[in-house]
Structure 1
Amino acid sequence: MDTQPIMNTDNIISNDNILNDSKENAQPTIEQHHQHPTMEPTKETQKELIEEATNKLVEKIKEVTANPSTQNDKDHVEKKRQAKNIENPFKNLTHRVTQLVYWENPTHSGAILAASLSFLIFTAYYSLFNTFFALAAILIGVNWIYVMGFKQFQSLINQKPVNPHEHLLVNKPWYIEREDAEKYLDSIIDTANFVLLEAQKIALVDDPMRTMRHVVMFYILWTLGTWISFRTLFGIGLILSFSTPITYQKNKEFVDEKLYQFNKFLRSHFDRGLTMAKQHSGGVYEKAKSFAVTKGLVNDDKTAKKEE
């Protein structure tokens, strides 16, 4: 009878100890929770993020749904700007050619003219193909004899045979540097683009008189080409290019007056031809319109007004 209450008190004491331990263990977790709160975004930051994402989406939609004609106009303007920036690659060459044809250095001009005419005369009797391979065979054969003879001479005087061109093979080899090749390629591309743009201006009649001058020039060359060979025509052009400028320089006033009269005559006839073409095209239009009205293909404006 006396032992039962004692056991109950022991159980109560043990339960109290367990509860106290659990509270002590739980307190640090609560304190840790208060010490390290989670960083949750506020409403203002959420709004900013949403607005930023919306703006990006709207910009992408505008880029995708952009008007293609506007983009084409931009590309056309860009191409036009690039076409204008192409400079004339023949500036330096033009200055040198001017020095030649005006005989500023008579020895230089005479030598080039004589060499060019000699080349034309030579190619009239001998083929360039055969000439090239014949010269290659002769020069390489002579050089081989020279190298082998030099080595034999060195061996006779008790020296080590050495190729006389060894310093060229080691120190000065012949090859194209990549940087030089890129410069040459850029100059070739600029020259080709300049020629293409000038040809487009002539073909698309950017300047009517300029196009007409080229038409006359091509017609004259076409006519002369049917009478004489290209080699003879090139020789005549070469002689005229070295003789005409110096002659013009000595008789500049007289030639300018004649050229002005010829240009005026040509322009007057050109304008007259344009007016006749416009009149003729207008008459054709009226005839075509009347024919279409009679056939009932097109309604006449006057009859339509009367019916109203």
Structure 2
Amino acid sequence: MADSPSSSPDSSSSNSSSSSSSSSSLQDLQHSALQLVQWKEPKKSAAAFGMSMLVLVSVATLSVISVVSYLLLASLCVSITFRVYKSVIQAIQKSDEGHPFRSLLQRDISVSPETIRLLADQSLVHLNWLSCQSRRLLLVEDLVDSLKLAAVMWVMTYIGAVFNGVTILILADIISFTTPLIYQKKKAQIDRQVELLRTKLEETVQKLQDRLPGAVKRTKVE
């Protein structure tokens, strides 16, 4: 019983270190994603963009089951061919290099419970925010914001009539990999145009709000 108080600081420090390592791993993942879309390493970004476009275009023309099956089949063909080739080379040269994928097989790719908890906590924060915003907009706590949502949904009905979900994903993928490059080259011009657009939008919203009757202008639930 006397040893339990002394062991609690060690356990708390280990928990804090594991949570900090999980947080750092998530930050590293986010940083890697930003590096890809910002084309910091052109070869990796080109490979990621090409693979994502290939998968999305394949899903647009084929079923998801077919795309997954073809991808796994192609991966197996490459890995099996390389394994057989290396085995033949090792047999001819009488070398003892072992499995060609040994380093990858020995790498730890398991997801720690701390990472799952951190992801769950972050997802819970976003879920709570989404539920609160949905209730606020759908129950018309703020009339102007609810009208904005109605306008956006009305525009989305036309977008949905023209594009399907996969097409929107393809466009989003293209925009994600091209917008950072364009922004880096035209940063000053884009910032100026965005500021002008934001100012005009705020002025338009203010004019519309001023034309609303006083009883419904920016009404909120007490």
TM-score bracket, normalised by the shorter chain, equals 0.5 to 0.7
Cα distance per residue 1:48-90 (max 9 Å; x no partner): xxxxxxxxxxxxxxxxxxxxxxxxxxxxxxxxxxxxxxxxxxx
Q: C-alpha separation between the residues in 1 aligned to 2:202 and 2:142?
A: 18
In the alignment, which residue of structure 2 is the partner of 1:221?
156
1:177 aligns with 2:112: yes
Cα distance per residue 1:170-199 (max 9 Å; x no partner): x41322222222222222222222222222
Q: C-alpha separation between the residues in 2 aligned to 1:127 and 1:134?
A: 11
Residues 231 and 269 from structure 1, CA distance in 2 versus in 1: closer, same or farther, beyond 3 angstroms? Answer: farther
Q: Is the 8 A contact 1:201 1:207 kept in 2?
A: yes
Deviation of the 1:121 alpha carbon: 4.6
Deviation of the 1:106 alpha carbon: 7.4
Q: Is the 8 A contact 1:152 1:161 kept in 2?
A: no
Q: C-alpha separation between the residues in 2 aligned to 1:175 and 1:192?
A: 26
Q: C-alpha separation between the residues in 1 aligned to 2:125 and 2:67?
A: 33
Deviation of the 1:238 alpha carbon: 7.3
Q: C-alpha separation between the residues in 1 aligned to 2:103 and 2:40?
A: 36
Residues 257 and 164 from structure 1, CA distance in 2 versus in 1: closer, same or farther, beyond 3 angstroms? Answer: closer
In the alignment, which residue of structure 2 is the partner of 1:147?
83
Deviation of the 1:251 alpha carbon: 2.8
In the alignment, which residue of structure 2 is the partner of 1:134?
70
CA RMSD, Structure 1 to Structure 2 (Å): 4.3
Q: Is the 8 A contact 1:147 1:164 kept in 2?
A: yes
Q: C-alpha separation between the residues in 1 aligned to 2:214 and 2:171?
A: 35
In the alignment, which residue of structure 2 is the partner of 1:49?
none
Deviation of the 1:143 alpha carbon: 0.9
1:208 aligns with 2:150: no
TM (norm. structure 1) is: 0.43
Aligned partner (choices 61, 66, 71) of residue 125 of structure 1: 61
The one of the two structures with greater contact order (alpha-carbon pairs below 8 A, sep at least 6) is: 2
Q: C-alpha separation between the residues in 2 aligned to 1:257 and 1:178?
A: 46
Q: Is the 8 A contact 1:120 1:231 kept in 2?
A: yes
Q: What secondary structure, in the 3-state scheme, does the structure 1 residue paired with 2:212 have?
A: helix
Deviation of the 1:137 alpha carbon: 0.9
Aligned partner (choices 98, 120, 132) of residue 162 of structure 1: 98
Aligned partner (choices 234, 239, 255) of residue 197 of structure 2: 255
* Aligned-partner residue type, residue 204 of structure 1: L
Alignment of 1:1-308 (within 5 A): 121-160=57-96, 162-169=98-105, 171-232=106-167, 242=179, 249-252=191-194, 254-271=196-213, 274=216
Q: Which runs of 5+ in 1 are unaligned?
A: 1-91, 276-308
Cα distance per residue 1:141-161 (max 9 Å; x no partner): 221222233233333344457
Q: C-alpha separation between the residues in 2 aligned to 1:145 and 1:239?
A: 33
Q: Is the 8 A contact 1:225 1:233 kept in 2?
A: no
* Aligned-partner residue type, residue 146 of structure 2: T
Q: C-alpha separation between the residues in 1 aligned to 2:148 and 2:195?
A: 22
* Aligned-partner residue type, residue 78 of structure 2: V
Q: C-alpha separation between the residues in 1 aligned to 2:46 and 2:91?
A: 45
Residues 179 and 272 from structure 1, CA distance in 2 versus in 1: closer, same or farther, beyond 3 angstroms? Answer: closer
Deviation of the 1:224 alpha carbon: 3.4
Q: Which runs of 5+ in 2 are unaligned?
A: 1-26, 218-222
TM (norm. structure 2) is: 0.56
Q: C-alpha separation between the residues in 1 aligned to 2:167 and 2:46?
A: 20
Aligned residues: percent identity? 14
* Aligned-partner residue type, residue 129 of structure 1: I
